[in-house]
């Protein structure tokens, strides 16, 4: 079946049905990688289904982060140390194809199966497919002819009165961060000078429908937070013969201009209303180092090479950014600052919520460069940002968190046996656990037959595989199965109508029961709804916190009592009880007082919920760390 290319005629996204009460929020402890392998996960997933409309949406995009890139980072970190993204309970895959330019025969673009970041960012940011290198616009006959402008996620959020943010480690005018903030026929038209050269009909002053460069459009849109690189684009002059830059224009319009981590750390609040005092944080210029216009990578390591006698052994330097560019904030620091500021602003001014997009950009950049150390470092830093978003969601269950990628990329895990060397570029890395991890890049270049490693691999190509999509929070179950990237748009723009989750029923035999008598008949109901319940628990807690007490949330479909038991192995370490009102969530704090201090463990939480003769049992797992 073909996927729809626009919102018109879109097939509905169907939430997973479950005969249980949906409980918003909470980490997905029972579905983490490598835990609970022998347990039935159905009940745990059912408790995570929430069909309501979210107040906040946090979208995290790993650029070029296909399943292979995720696996590489996971295996490097250690198979016994799940990634933060493994905490998300709902998972699916999204198709990423884009379109070729319009043709004379079909009056539509044909499918192109190896997309770029611009067309894919447009897909989730607008709900429409478009051609390669295009942003926020529909397809057209050729790349130089602009298409129809579509409403974007940030534009939609601003119409709802929500606060907005856009964070990246690339230039803020690059394809992925430009997706929700601009409309441009070609992604390279980032600054005014770029646009005058490449997209002249869209440059400022070219006509009534010319909106200017991506940088100028971002200033006009006024997201509350814009953090990333790309200072050089904003320092381009607005006119060819002028001296006024986009930065000057932004300052004149009330933007607060930040250039260092210290500048960012010093900000304590946003304005009194969305868009009133926007932050423009441009933390990197292309002259800083040889890493082009993107922010400095967290790690550093050698580029992959062709098969050689040395085995291409690689050592990763994990302090590269903090040693060479301490003035640049890490992605996780930008993410935390953005979440804190947007949450505080929304709470203080109207409580309408926020939309935030966060991109880990250089997973893709270093995959292009065939550099596994730097690619892994960027993936793990992106995963730190995911962890921060999930921690926020756990305490703010009205927040939808979605993690995905724009497209897949080249890197593959291959055998580390030197008798089976890859034909293309590769590096072999020793993991912290002492295992060999060999990464091969083979979508551009290849083995010349000389067996002499060149000075560097050619830029690797994207691949067309579907990308992972993961979610937690209201509407999160809609990402399960195989969807298209355009199907994310209604979730990201607060458009999904709440669905009604079905309850299980018990049928009394026979439609009616008649009691004998000359004048009186008693009829019993044909159906009754059974007791259903849900339990949510934190994904992990520190040892000391577990002993002091950690919070659970319980919910039942009718008035009931819940008794909770906490076990570590076969030992009961804590108990608790709470009364439940039908349809109302209740909190319970349980203390694992008998848990040994300073010891890691996995706690099994069992809640037995009873109402009259009915009884329902729900379980969850909580990982205890030594901290």
User: Could you give the residue numbers annotated as active site?
Assistant: 117
What is the rounded CA–CA span in Å between residue 498 and residue 479? Answer: 15
* Nearest residue to 562 (alpha-carbon basis) of 543, 587, 544: 587
In sequence order, which ranges of 51-127 are alpha helices (DSSP H)? 67-77, 117-126
CA separation, residue 58 to residues 169, 188, 228, 359, 401 (Å): 17, 26, 17, 11, 5
CB atoms within 10 A of CB 609: 27
- How many CB atoms within 10 Å of residue 524? 12
Q: What are phi and psi of 545, to 5 degrees?
A: -65, -40
CA distance 119 to 99: 8
Taking the C-alpha atoms of residue 605 and residue 621, their distance in angstroms, rounded to an integer, is 6
The C-alpha atoms of residue 363 and residue 373 are separated, in whole angstroms, by 10
Backbone phi and psi for residue 468, each to the nearest 5 degrees, phi listed first: -70, 150
Give 502's Cβ-side CA count (13 Å radius).
8
DSSP helix/strand/coil, 279: strand
Q: How far, rounded to the nearest angstrom, does the alpha carbon of residue 483 sit from its chain's CA centroid?
A: 15
Give the DSSP H or E segment for 323.
helix 320-324
Tokens 């593959």 -> residue: 412
**Pick from 331, 336, 337, 335: nearest CA to 297:** 331
DSSP secondary structure string for all residues of 214-276 = HHHHHHHH--SEEEEE-HHHHTSBSSTT---BHHHHHHHTTPEEE-SHHHHHH-----SSTTS
Rounded to an integer, what distance in angstroms lies between the CA atom of residue 436 and that of residue 415? 9
CA–CA separation, 244 and 228 (whole Å): 22
Task: Judge whether 508 and 527 are in contact, CB under 8 Å.
Answer: yes
Q: 119: which 2 tokens? A: 């067309």
Measured distance CA(85)–CA(300) in Å, rounded = 23
Place of tokens 């994904």: 539
Strands laid side by side in the 313-314 sheet: 313-314, 425-430, 436-441, 412-414
Query: What is the 8-class DSSP label of residue 477?
Result: G
* Cβ atoms 95, 464 nearer than 8 A: no
Inter-axis angle of helices 67-77 and 372-395, nearest 10: 90
Extended strands (E) in 385-455: 399-405, 412-414, 425-430, 436-441
Strands 279-282 and 614-625, how do they pair? unpaired
Tokens of 290: 């040889």
């953005």: which residue's tokens? 338
Give SS3 for 448: coil
């Amino acid at each position: 079946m073909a996927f729809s290319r626009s919102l018109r005629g879109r097939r509905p996204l169907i939430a997973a049905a479950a005969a249980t009460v949906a409980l918003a929020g909470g980490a997905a402890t029972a579905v983490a990688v490598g835990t609970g392998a022998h347990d039935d996960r159905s009940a745990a997933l059912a408790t995570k289904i929430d069909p309501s409309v979210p107040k906040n949406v946090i979208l995290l995009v790993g650029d070029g982060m296909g399943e292979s890139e995720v696996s590489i980072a996971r295996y490097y970190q250690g198979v016994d140390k799940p990634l933060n993204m493994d905490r998300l309970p709902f998972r699916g895959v999204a198709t990423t194809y884009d379109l070729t330019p319009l043709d004379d025969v079909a009056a539509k673009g044909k499918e192109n199966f190896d997309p770029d970041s611009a067309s894919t960012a447009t897909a989730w940011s607008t709900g429409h497919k478009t051609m390669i290198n295009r942003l926020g616009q529909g397809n057209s006959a050729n790349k130089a002819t602009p298409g129809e402008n579509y409403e974007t996620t940030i534009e939609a959020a601003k119409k709802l009165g929500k606060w907005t943010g856009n964070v990246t480690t690339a230039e803020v005018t690059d394809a992925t961060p430009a997706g929700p903030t601009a409309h441009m026929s070609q992604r390279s038209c980032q600054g005014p000078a770029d646009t005058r050269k490449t997209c002249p009909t869209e440059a400022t002053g070219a006509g009534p429908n010319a909106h200017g460069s991506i940088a100028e459009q971002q200033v006009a849109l006024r997201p509350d937070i814009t953090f990333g690189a790309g200072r050089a684009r904003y320092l381009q002059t607005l006119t060819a013969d002028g001296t006024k830059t986009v930065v000057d224009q932004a300052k004149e319009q009330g933007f607060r201009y930040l250039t260092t981590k210290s500048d960012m750390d010093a900000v304590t609040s946003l304005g009194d209303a969305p868009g009133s005092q926007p932050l423009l944080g441009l933390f990197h210029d292309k002259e800083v180092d040889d890493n082009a216009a993107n922010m400095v990578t967290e790690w550093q390591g050698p580029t992959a090479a062709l098969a050689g006698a040395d085995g291409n052994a690689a050592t990763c330097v994990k302090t590269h950014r903090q040693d060479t560019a301490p003035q640049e904030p890490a992605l996780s620091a930008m993410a935390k600052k953005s979440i804190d500021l947007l949450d505080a602003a929304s709470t203080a001014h109207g409580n309408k919520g926020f939309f935030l997009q966060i991109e880990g950009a250089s997973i893709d950049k270093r995959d292009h460069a065939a550099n596994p150390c730097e690619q892994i470092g960027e993936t793990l830093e992106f995963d730190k940002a995911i962890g921060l978003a999930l921690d926020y969601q756990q305490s703010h269950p009205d927040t939808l968190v979605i993690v995905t990628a724009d497209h897949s990329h080249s890197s593959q895990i291959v055998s580390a046996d030197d008798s089976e060397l890859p034909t293309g570029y590769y590096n072999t890395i020793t993991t912290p656990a002492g295992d060999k991890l060999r990464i091969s890049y083979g979508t551009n270049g290849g083995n010349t037959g000389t067996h002499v490693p060149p000075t560097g691999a050619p830029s690797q190509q994207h691949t067309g595989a579907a990308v992972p999509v993961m979610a937690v929070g209201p509407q999160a179950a809609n990402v399960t199965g195989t969807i298209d990237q355009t199907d994310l748009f209604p979730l990201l723009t607060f458009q999904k109508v709440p669905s009604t989750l079905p309850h299980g029923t018990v049928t009394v035999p026979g439609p009616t029961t008649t009691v004998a008598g000359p004048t009186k008949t008693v009829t019993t109901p044909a159906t009754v709804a059974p007791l259903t319940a849900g339990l949510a628990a934190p994904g992990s807690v520190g040892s000391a916190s577990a002993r002091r007490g950690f919070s659970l949330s319980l919910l039942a479909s009718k008035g009931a009592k819940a008794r909770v038991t906490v076990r570590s192995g076969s030992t009961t370490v804590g108990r608790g009880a709470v009364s439940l009102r039908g349809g109302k969530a209740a909190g319970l704090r349980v203390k694992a007082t008998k848990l040994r201090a300073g010891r890691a463990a996995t706690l099994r939480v069992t809640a037995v919920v009873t109402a009259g003769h009915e009884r329902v049992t729900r379980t969850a797992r909580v990982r205890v760390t030594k901290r």
